[in-house]
Amino acid sequence: MIKYEEKQIPARTEKIYVDTECDFCGQSVHAHLGNYDVDDVTIVSNYGKQFPGKTYLQNISVDMCGSCFRAKMLPWLTEHMLKGRTPLVEGEKD
Ligand SMILES: [Zn+2]
């Protein structure tokens, strides 16, 4: 005979991704985007050591919306880091 008893299972808390806020303006990086719009910015530095089968890496990352990247970061990079060179722009635009 298989027996059952009722037990109360405590609710659990999970960490679920909700959104990413821009570290510069505080807005959601997905704000003002339509269903098919893409406006990704990835600024991350991975550093450490990588051996066959074992990796010891740390990273530093900044969350930034596309608007802040184009309006704030890109002009600063162009002026201070790229020394006036034009940043690479690739992709199709209709
Ligand atoms: Zn922003």
Bridge partners of 54, per DSSP, are 51
Domain that holds residue 56: 21-87
Q: How close is the Cα of 16 to the center of ligand 1, in Å? A: 22
Answer yes or no: is 37 within a domain.
yes
Q: How close is the Cα of 69 to the center of ligand 1, in Å? A: 7
Q: How close is the Cα of 46 to the center of ligand 1, in Å? A: 23
Q: What is the model's pLDDT at position 88?
A: 75
Quote the CA–CA distance of 43 and 73 in Å, as a whole number: 11
Q: What is the model's pLDDT at position 52?
A: 95
Q: How close is the Cα of 64 to the center of ligand 1, in Å? A: 5
- Residue 94 pLDDT class (50, 70, 90 cuts): low
Q: Tens digits of per-residue pLDDT, 3-58?
A: 999 999 889 999 999 999 999 999 999 888 898 999 989 899 999 999 999 999 99
Answer yes or no: is 4 within a domain.
no
Number of compact structural domains in the chain: 1
Q: Which residue has the tokens 């802040």?
A: 68
Four-residue CA torsion sign, 30, 35, 37, 41: positive
Q: How close is the Cα of 13 to the center of ligand 1, in Å? A: 30
Answer yes or no: is 16 within a domain.
no
Question: What are the residues whose beta carbons fall under 8 Å from the beta carbon of 24, sequence distance 6 or more?
Answer: 64, 65, 68, 72
Q: Which residue has the tokens 């510069």?
A: 24
> What's the distance, Cα to Cα, between the start and end of the chain in Å?
69
